[in-house]
Amino acid sequence: MLLGSTLITVIGLASSVQAWGGLGHKTVANVALQFLQEDALAGVEAVLAADGHKESDNPSIVDVATWADAFGRKKGGTFSKKFHYINAHDDPPFECNVDLERDCSEKGECIVKAIANYTQRLIRPSRNVNDTADALKFLVHFIGDITQPLHTEDKERGGNGIPVAWNGNGNKNLHSVWDTNMVKKLAGSDNEENLNAWTDIIVNEINNGSYKPLIPEWLNCTDPRDALNCALKWATDSNSFICTYVLKNDTDGWELSGSYYRGAAPIIQQQIAKGGVRLAVWLNQLFGSGEPGKLPLDRAQVIIQN
């Protein structure tokens, strides 16, 4: 377990962007939940239960999956708005890449450094459990955000400046279509039934379907002590879809609900699945009993076979 003893003491005493929309973020968390070790689940639940700002009695990671979006809109939360993305100044569709020095703001405000920051805040938790809970809630959200390709791209403000049409409505932009319209078309609106149905589909693909052979690659960087490097790799992985699909053609003014959607849907579902398994192994190491950084891949496979 990576989590220091301070937090345990505290618990003992205390006894933007809308990437992937609400349903997408909740599904990332719900997929992760299916692969959490028992002790990791207990640790996560304890932190969320001790959170002074919790909005329900015993929140799960699913309940807090969209907290970071709401927090960013609050007066005291605007500092975190830039933490949801990294603006890669690459040259799509010809060249895609993420360069931390080039693309993260001078103050280090980008999703890659935010993931490293909040991971560190779980490795060495503050005496203030509210801060630790915030760190956990940020991570649950950002490990989802970083799989949205347009959260790793600068061009036209991550596609916000690219006008497109959706179901005949020409008043859309590419970013919001990726964030919400396509997710909705694929998995339905944000309710519990769709959450459980989509989670089941993804978990089956992971356990016993087309995702199974891809898991080692998805989890090829999963040591929280190496968070900056891993988050950069995750961003680079998402950013690669910008060149291979998202901006491969000039989509300016296009109707996207037809063939563009059909090609994008498998990418979206796979990115949600990636976020889910990465979040699970991250939390299993931070809150679970496994040795940190030691063969997280093997451990993940053991978990996944359960």
Ligand X SMILES: *[C@@H]1O[C@H](CO)[C@@H](O)[C@H](O)[C@H]1NC(C)=O
Query: For tokens 């849907």, what's the residue?
Result: 265
Instruction: Read off the tokens for 296.
Output: 């997280």
Q: Which stretch binds ligand X (CB under 6 A): 18-26, 108-116, 183-191, 293-301?
A: 108-116
Per CB under 6 A, 200 contacts ligand X: no
Per CB under 6 A, 67 contacts ligand X: no
DSSP E strands, the chain: 163-166, 169-173
Per CB under 6 A, 108 contacts ligand X: yes
Q: Please state, in angstroms and rounded to a whole number, the distance separating the CA atoms of residues 92 and 101.
A: 19
Q: Please state, in angstroms and rounded to a whole number, the distance separating the CA atoms of residues 181 and 13.
A: 45
Per CB under 6 A, 247 contacts ligand X: no
Q: DSSP labels for 196-232?
A: HHHHHHHHHHHHHSTTGGGHHHHTSS--GGGHHHHHH
Tell me the number of residues near ligand X by CB under 6 A. 22
Per CB under 6 A, 32 contacts ligand X: no
- Binding map of ligand X across residues 69-88, x = CB under 6 A, - = no contact: ----------x---x-----
Q: Please state, in angstroms and rounded to a whole number, the distance separating the CA atoms of residues 78 and 74.
A: 6
Q: How far is CA 279 from CA 92, 95, 127, 207, 294, in A?
A: 28, 28, 24, 16, 16
Given the complex with ligand X, which of 16 and 207 has the nearer CB atom?
Answer: 207
For the bound state, the minimum distance from the C-beta of residue 7 to ligand X, rounded and expressed in Å, comes to 12
Q: Which of 85, 142, 241, 260 binds ligand X (CB under 6 A)?
A: 260
Per CB under 6 A, 237 contacts ligand X: yes
Judge contact between 97 and 242, C-beta under 8 A.
no
Q: Which stretch binds ligand X (CB under 6 A): 65-73, 151-159, 160-168, 243-251?
A: 243-251
Q: Which of 60, 123, 245, 265 binds ligand X (CB under 6 A)?
A: 245
What are φ and ψ of residue 170, in 5° steps? Answer: -85, 10
Judge contact between 110 and 86, C-beta under 8 A.
yes
Given the complex with ligand X, which of 23 and 222 has the nearer CB atom?
Answer: 222
Q: Please state, in angstroms and rounded to a whole number, the distance separating the CA atoms of residues 8 and 33.
A: 21
Q: Is the peptide bond before 92 cis (omega within 30 degrees of 0)?
A: no
For ligand X, the binding residues in 143-172 under the rule CB under 6 A are none
**In this chain, which residue has its C-beta nearest to ligand X?**
52
Per CB under 6 A, 180 contacts ligand X: no
Per CB under 6 A, 220 contacts ligand X: yes
Instruction: Read off the tokens for 16.
Output: 């933007």
Per CB under 6 A, 130 contacts ligand X: yes
Per CB under 6 A, 114 contacts ligand X: yes
For the bound state, the minimum distance from the C-beta of residue 299 to ligand X, rounded and expressed in Å, comes to 17
Per CB under 6 A, 185 contacts ligand X: no
Given the complex with ligand X, which of 29 and 86 has the nearer CB atom?
Answer: 86
Judge contact between 248 and 161, C-beta under 8 A.
no
Cα dihedral 45, 47, 53, 54 in deg (nearest 10)? 0
Given the complex with ligand X, which of 78 and 128 has the nearer CB atom?
Answer: 128
Residue 233 CB neighbour total at 10 angstroms: 17
Given the complex with ligand X, which of 56 and 128 has the nearer CB atom?
Answer: 128
Per CB under 6 A, 248 contacts ligand X: yes
| Interface contacts to ligand X, rule CB under 6 A | 52-53, 79, 83, 108-109, 113-114, 117, 128, 130, 207-208, 217-218, 220, 237, 245, 248-249, 260, 263
